[in-house]
Amino acid sequence: MKKLIVIKSSIVALAFALMVMTGCHQVNNTTPLALVGLHFHTFIDTNLVDPVLYSTQYFPDSLGRSEVLTTAQFYLTSLSFRNKSNQQWYTIPNSIILKREQNELYPVGNIPAATYDAIAFTVGLGNNLNYQDPSYYTGNSSLPSADSVLSTTEQAVMWLSNMSGMTGMASGYTFMIVQGYDSTDHTPFSYQIGGFGDTVRIILPYAAGFTIAPNEPSTLQPIHVIADYGKLLQFIHLNTASNGCFYSTTPANITNAANAWNYIIRMFRYECPTPNGSC
């Protein structure tokens, strides 16, 4: 009888140990993550510009001018989400994209699953990224966006050596290019906006909050945003200023640059009733 009791006690002790070990493996203190990104639509006023037909589509802006976009792209960095419960911002590390008119969907990175009440991003690169020549980023796999949006593949369009020869201007990336044709005034337009040291911070609040669900970051949950170039172009008299550069670091351009910044802020809005919902 004593031998039987000893055996039972050993079995109970072993079972308890297994329960403890199993329980420890089941506890997960890691915050669940979710893969997020941006789904950008290009607009002129209330009109969606088809990413396939963008260079042939004319649409009226808010001033009644009929415009087509042949090039419309900008750098976006530091995509951030504001947690609704504690109002803390989470910025996705190394979040750098080049929003091109022909592309709409941009996976960016992972954030903690939670309910958020705002997103924010910077239009432009900032001095740290602007400091290097495009050749620095080409072929360097340890750097963000290697062989992509900061490399020599974009040099002809987005990189300005000595800012087009302007006295006292450092070389750097322009942060937005807008080109097209205005059929009302029968004039082509081309604008390079921002340069070394120039950025614009965009904040899009959504008071009701939207939930980013945990998905073991595998399925993209995009935030739907409109980039409305009609808002930007409405402050420019295209028939008298069809080409130009707006850099705040050029003294003669400070007023124009300030106007451009203000209208860039107005360019962006959520597309859907819920930022990450269906439209």
Rg value, the chain, Cα? 25
Tokens at 26, concatenated: 């089941």
- The reported pLDDT for the residue numbered 31 is 80
- The reported pLDDT for the residue numbered 162 is 53
Return the higher-pLDDT residue of 27 and 136: 136
**Strand residues in 129-196 grouped as ranges (E):** 159-160, 172-173, 176-182, 187-193
Distance CA 159, CA 75 (A): 12
Residues 159-180 pLDDT 10s: 876 554 444 456 778 889 999 9
What rounded mean pLDDT belongs to the chain? 82
Q: pLDDT at residue 62 above 80?
A: yes
Q: pLDDT at residue 1 above 90?
A: no
Q: pLDDT at residue 5 above 60?
A: no
Is residue 215 very low, low, confident or very high in pLDDT (cuts 50, 70, 90)? confident
Q: pLDDT at residue 60 above 50?
A: yes
Phi, psi of 54 (to 5 degrees): -55, -40
Distance CA 212, CA 184 (A): 44
Distance CA 7, CA 21 (A): 21
- Tally the C-alpha atoms within 13 A of residue 64's C-alpha that lie toward its C-beta: 0
- The reported pLDDT for the residue numbered 158 is 83
Asked if 37 contacts 106 with a C-beta cutoff of 8 angstroms, the reply is: yes
Return the higher-pLDDT residue of 100 and 29: 100
Closest CA to 100 of 26, 168, 29, 178: 178
For the stretch 27-46, what's the b/e string if a residue is b when 16 or more beta carbons lie within 10 angstroms of its beta carbon? eeeeeebbbbbbbbbbbbbe
Q: pLDDT at residue 78 above 60?
A: yes
Q: pLDDT at residue 33 above 70?
A: yes
Tokens at 258, concatenated: 């300030």
Tokens at 131, concatenated: 């400091």
Return the higher-pLDDT residue of 253 and 279: 279
Is residue 259 very low, low, confident or very high in pLDDT (cuts 50, 70, 90)? confident
Residues 232-246 pLDDT 10s: 998 888 888 888 888
Share of the chain above pLDDT 90, in %: 47
Specify the amino acid at residue 212.
Answer: I
Closest CA to 192 of 161, 216, 217: 161
Q: pLDDT at residue 13 above 70?
A: no
Residues 172-202 pLDDT 10s: 788 899 999 999 888 999 998 887 778 999 9
- The reported pLDDT for the residue numbered 156 is 59
Question: For 186, left (φ over 0), alpha (ψ -120 to 50), or beta?
Answer: left
For residue 109, what are the β-bridge partners? 36
Distance CA 53, CA 82 (A): 35
Residues 96-121 pLDDT 10s: 889 998 889 999 999 999 999 999 99
Tokens at 63, concatenated: 């001033």
The reported pTM is: 0.82
Share of the chain above pLDDT 70, in %: 78
Distance CA 163, CA 104 (A): 29
Neighbours of 57 (CB within 10 A): 16
- The reported pLDDT for the residue numbered 206 is 97
State CA 17 to chain mean position distance: 50
> Strands 66-83 and 114-123, how do they pair?
antiparallel
